[in-house]
Amino acid sequence: MSIKFFLKKNFYNLLNLNNNKKITKNFIVIKSEKKNWVLNQIANEYKEVFQNFTKNVSLKEQDIYMSNDVHLFIMSKYYALENLKNYKNKIYFPYFHGSTDDTQHRQSLEIIKKNIDSISKIQISNSLIENIFLENKIPKEKFKKIPITIDIKKFKQVNSLDSNELRIFYELPISSFIVGSFQKDGDGWGKGDNPKMIKGPDIFIKTMKILKDKIPELFVLLTGPSRGYVIKELNKIKVPFKHIHLEKYSEMIKLYKCLNVYLISSREEGGPRAILESFASKIPLVTTNVGQAVDMVENGYNAFKSNNLNEEELANHIYNNIYYKNINLQKIINNAYQTLENNTYEKQTNLWKDFFNIYDKK
C-alpha cells in the first residue's frame, strides 16, 4: 500500500489522532498561506469564530482533505480558483476586493462563473464587491457579505497603556505628530521597491508632502513588509519616519497607541482591517472611500473620508480636523468605537452559520 493511498484512506483518523473524536459532516478546514501576514492572522481568528458553532475546525495545511463531508475554506481566492478541480470538498473562499479595470479581477470573475457549481459559497466583505457580483450575474445564493473584523479583546488589553511611554519604548519622538501606515504595499516579499498601486503608496507620499509644509513636527510610523517604495520616497521629500519590523500582531496593536492619526490611502481594499483597528485603538482615522469604508465610515461622524482619492482632501482632513482639532474628536472616536462594537466577531456567528449552512450545536 502506498503512503499516498494510506493517507487518503485514513484521513479521518489522521485528523483526530490526539482526541479520537468522531468527525462529523460539519468539519471545517481553513487553508491559509504560510507567510505570517494578514490572511494568516484572519485565519486564526476565523478558527475561533467557527468553533462557536462546530467543534471540528482545523488549520492544517496538508492537501489531503478529499471528502464532500469537509468544508474547505481557502484563504487565498487565487489559490482557490486555480485548484477548484483538485478537491472533492465543499469549497469556500473570500473575495475581498477587485476592480473591473483589473485584468486579473476580470479573469477571476470569469473562472467563478464557469465553475459556479464547484463553489459552495464566497465570502465578500463590502457592498462594492456585492454590486460587482450582481452585475456579473453571480447567483445571490453563492455569496454572502460578512465584513472583515478584528478581535476586540486584543485591543482592550492595550488601550490603558500610556502613549508617551510607548513612544519612548519604541524610540519615537514624543513631541511629534505621528501618522501611521501599517500595511504591505510593495510587490512580493522582498524590499518592496516596486509599489502595488492599488494600495495607494503614491497617494500616501503626496499627502505627506502637503503636510510637511504645514506640520513642522510631522513624523511617519511604518510597519509591514515590502515598504521599500514608501521608505525611498519619504527620504526624497525629507519627512522623518521609522519602519518597525514586527513578528507579532500584538506588537502592532501597541503601535497604534503611538499615533495621532492613521491614514488609509488605498485605491482598492477588501477591509482594510486598519479601519476597525483604528476604531478599537481610539485613534482618529482618515481614509479613502475604499472597501469597507464605503459601508462603515461616515465622514465627520466616526472618521474622515475622501471620496475622490484626493491627497489634498486627505491632507486637509488631517491638518484641519486632527492637527488643529477643529471638530469634536472625542465624539468621533466614541462613534467609531460604537461602529466597531456593532461589527465584532461575536456579532457574526449567525452569519457564519448561514454561510456554511451549519446549525448543529457543538
One digit per residue, the tens of pLDDT, for the chain of length 362 reads 454 444 444 444 444 433 334 445 678 999 886 665 677 888 889 999 999 888 888 887 554 456 777 899 999 899 999 988 888 889 999 998 877 677 888 899 999 999 999 999 999 999 999 999 999 999 999 999 999 999 898 888 888 889 999 999 999 999 999 999 998 887 777 676 788 899 999 999 999 999 999 999 999 999 988 888 999 999 999 999 999 988 777 788 899 999 999 999 999 888 899 999 999 999 999 999 999 999 999 999 999 999 888 999 999 999 999 998 878 899 999 999 999 999 999 999 999 999 999 876 54
Residue 234: inside a domain: yes
Residue 120: inside a domain: yes
Residue 285: inside a domain: yes
303 shares a domain with 174 = yes
**CATH number of the domain enclosing 292:** 3.40.50.2000
What is the 3-state secondary structure of the chain? CCHHHHHHHCHHHHHCCCCCCCCCCCEEEEECCCCCCHHHHHHHHHHHHHCCCCCCEECCCCCCCCCCCEEEEECCHHHHHHCHHHCCCEEEEECCCCCCCCHHHHHHHHHHHHCHHHCCEEEECCHHHHHHHHHCCCCHHHEEECCCCCCHHHHHCCCCCCHHHHHHHCCCCCCCEEEEEECCCECCCCCCCCECHHHCHHHHHHHHHHHHCCCCCEEEEEECCCCHHHHHHHHHHCCCEEECCCCCHHHHHHHHCCCCEEEECCCCCCCCHHHHHHHHHCCCEEEECCCCHHHHCCECCCEEEECCCCHHHHHHHHHHHHHCCCCCHHHHHHHHHHHHHCCCHHHHHHHHHHHHCCCCCC
Residue 361: inside a domain: no
157 shares a domain with 113 = no
Residue 55: inside a domain: yes
Residue 337: inside a domain: yes
279 shares a domain with 167 = yes
179 shares a domain with 298 = yes
Domain that holds residue 288: 152-341
The total of structural domains in the chain comes to: 2
256 shares a domain with 170 = yes
331 shares a domain with 236 = yes
47 shares a domain with 187 = no
